[in-house]
């Protein structure tokens, strides 16, 4: 088993267990077509936490280059809005591209003729650290984890946690109009009652 396969197996295993744990939704009628629904974001957050120790990213020395894999996070692309990262700093000034989500296969890696959704390539030894943060589809950001390459692992894929940081600023929470559900909801029809002012309220 190659280093890349060893890295990908735990991610897909967690995704597979998550799929098995999803409730089976019955159809209202035989004529109604089933529309795939994304797994709950809580499943993705559990996957993110489970992969933190082994690495949201992985470093690898290969062919006189340093490859940094984003595979673990890319499997969660259906529930992410951004992957923020930075090399040798905590600036989080770079963005890793996310694949287009297909709700029928939400944990699959995106199809691509290139490796742009899988890894970045740097000169050998350039990245001493990589700071990374996952941003969910509702705008909430994860903690910031700073990884460093493992020592003495040769060309195996590996990452070790250097530090874990809380975001300095809480990301703006989505307002009601940002929600695709609340945006189409209307007030319940019927009479609107207004509380009487304090001066007209009867005393007991």
Counting the structural domains of the chain, the total is 1
**What are the pLDDT digits (tens) for 5-64?**
445 544 544 555 444 444 444 445 566 788 889 999 999 999 999 999 999 999 999 999
The domain containing residue 59 runs over which residues?
3-23+37-183
Helices 3-21 & 41-50 angle (0-180, nearest 10): 150
pLDDT digits (tens, 9 = 90+) for 101-135: 999 999 999 888 889 999 999 999 999 999 999 99
Query: Under the phi-then-psi rule, with left for phi > 0, alpha for psi from -120 to 50, and beta for the rest, what region is 67?
Result: beta
Residue-averaged pLDDT of the chain:
78
pTM: 0.68
List the one residue out of 96, 77, 108, 95 whose CA is nearest residue 15.
108
Residue 61 CA, chain-centre distance (Å), reads: 26
Position 149 in a domain: yes
Residue 204 placed within a domain = no
Residue 201 lies in a domain: no
Q: Residue 147 pLDDT more than 50?
A: yes
Q: Is the dihedral of CA 75, 9, 121, 151 positive or negative?
A: positive
């Amino acid at each position: 088993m190659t280093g890349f396969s060893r890295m990908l197996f735990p991610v897909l295993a967690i995704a597979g267990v998550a799929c098995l744990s999803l409730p089976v939704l019955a159809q209202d009628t035989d004529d109604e077509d089933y529309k795939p629904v994304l797994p709950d974001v809580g499943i993705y957050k559990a996957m993110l936490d489970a992969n933190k120790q082994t690495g949201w990213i992985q470093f690898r020395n290969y062919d006189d280059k340093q490859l940094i894999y984003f595979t673990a996070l890319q499997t969660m692309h259906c529930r992410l809005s951004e992957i923020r990262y930075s090399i040798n700093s905590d600036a989080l000034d770079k963005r890793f591209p996310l694949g287009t989500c297909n709700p029928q296969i939400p944990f699959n890696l995106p199809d691509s003729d290139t490796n742009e959704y899988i890894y970045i390539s740097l000169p050998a030894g350039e990245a001493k650290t990589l700071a990374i943060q996952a941003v969910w589809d509702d705008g909430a950001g994860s903690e910031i984890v700073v990884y460093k390459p493992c020592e003495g692992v040769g060309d195996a894929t590996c990452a070790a946690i250097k530090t874990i940081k809380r975001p300095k600023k809480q990301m703006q929470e989505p307002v009601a109009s940002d929600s695709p559900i609340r945006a189409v909801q209307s007030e319940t029809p019927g009479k609107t009652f207004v509380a009487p002012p304090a001066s007209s309220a009867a005393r007991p």
